[in-house]
Structure 1
Amino acid sequence: MSQYENGKQSDVDQFVIFRLDQESYGVSIHYVEIIEKVTAITRVPNSNDFVLGVINLRGEIVPVIDLRKRFNLSPSTITEESRIIILSVEDMTVGILTDSSSEVLNIPKNQIENTGTVLSIVDETSVEGIGKVDDRMIILLDIHSILELDKAEN
């Protein structure tokens, strides 16, 4: 069950591109609701260490995940460029904190490769593929795995 088996089949997929450290990452535009500047985040006790807390987004309480912590990257400070990408996944709204968000890219499916054992930065179950656009490589994330939705039987 892949995000690519969703409704319209085409030869191109759209991804919202963002940065962590010096790497470009992408998430399917189908999950993205909005991109927000970072606002006050309220810590939540006893949550996973990669959950920063929650924000109040126009009256809705939204949990925020720090992707740097989730991927065991070095911590960084929140800057003017930092963004929270608000995602809607399986009737759940969640934000992911990124260093910056830059663009929406169309990536032809034939330019997306499986990761295999190429990556050591990210657990390969968190990655759906690598998109090649011109001379750039973009790590395409599996949001279900990152959010641990397959383990969310509470």
Structure 2
Amino acid sequence: MNTATDTASPLEVLSFRLGNEEYGLSIQKVQELRGYDTVTHIANAPDFIKGVVNLRGTIVPIVDMRIRFNLGAPTYDQFTVVVILNIGGRVIGMVVDSVSDVITLAPEQIRPAPDMQGAMESACIVGIGTIDSRMLILIDIDKLMASPEMGLVAEEAF
């Protein structure tokens, strides 16, 4: 995902909610959207790995971002969405509270991420998108999924 300093063209992002915040990630990483369904649990997996599903013959790990970001106990209802991502050739499912829409951000609508020393995932936040009174926290999903805490994608895969 580009930051405000190197973005020359509009950026299309999928906006989604986790708790009270709205996030955005590059639409180019999204393969499909699915409702939350039963997963097969994996023994000794981290709490945020809900398990795996079989998606048309591909075994896909399912990550609950609410648990990953310590945003309280997740609830799974008709609004819960699994965003199927394709990152570095690996398919990963990401559980979010809801998906809003696809938004096109012009370069002037993207502000640099604030410097938040010690924030858990601050290296994965690439900017803040502004749309009228809304703010989207723009995340670099590649970096997030390759982070040592997640360990789902090898960094050299991009």
TM-score by length of 2: 0.84
Q: How many residues are aligned here?
A: 148
Match of 1:147 among 126, 145, 148: 145
Cα separation, 1, equivalents of 2:19 and 2:72: 8
Structure 2 stretches lacking a partner, 5+ long:
none
Q: Is the CA contact (8 Å cut-off) linking 1:71 and 1:121 kept in structure 2?
A: no
Moved more, 44-53 or 16-25: 44-53
Please list the CA deviations of residues 91-139 of structure 1 after superposition, one character each: whole Å capped at 9, or x if unmatched: 1000100001120000112211121236987521121111011110001
Structure 1 residue 116 corresponds to structure 2 residue 114: yes
2:62 is aligned to 64
Task: Tell me how far 1:39 sits from its aligned partner.
Answer: 1.2
Task: Tell me how far 1:57 sits from its aligned partner.
Answer: 1.3
2:85 is aligned to 87
Moved more, 77-86 or 138-147: 138-147
Cα separation, 2, equivalents of 1:77 and 1:31: 25
Q: Is the CA contact (8 Å cut-off) linking 2:121 and 2:144 kept in structure 1?
A: no
Q: Which amino acid aligns with 1:35?
A: L
Cα separation, 1, equivalents of 2:120 and 2:79: 23
Task: Tell me how far 1:23 sits from its aligned partner.
Answer: 1.1
Please list the CA deviations of residues 29-69 of structure 1 after superposition, one character each: whole Å capped at 9, or x if unmatched: 01000000111111112222211111111221111111011
Cα separation, 1, equivalents of 2:118 and 2:112: 14
1:19 is aligned to 17
Moved more, 111-120 or 60-69: 111-120
Cα separation, 1, equivalents of 2:22 and 2:84: 18
Q: What's the RMSD between the two structures over aligned residues?
A: 2.3
Identical residues among aligned pairs (%): 34
Cα separation, 2, equivalents of 1:132 and 1:14: 13
Q: Which amino acid aligns with 1:40?
A: T
The ranges of structure 1 where at least 4 consecutive aligned residues each deviate by more than 4 angstroms after the TM superposition are 118-122
Q: Which amino acid aligns with 2:16?
A: F
Q: Is the CA contact (8 Å cut-off) linking 2:25 and 2:140 kept in structure 1?
A: yes
Task: Tell me how far 1:149 sits from its aligned partner.
Answer: 5.1
2:27 is aligned to 29
Task: Tell me how far 1:85 sits from its aligned partner.
Answer: 0.2
Moved more, 83-92 or 56-65: 56-65
Structure 1's 40 and 21: CA in aligned 2 closer, same or farther, altered over 3 A? same
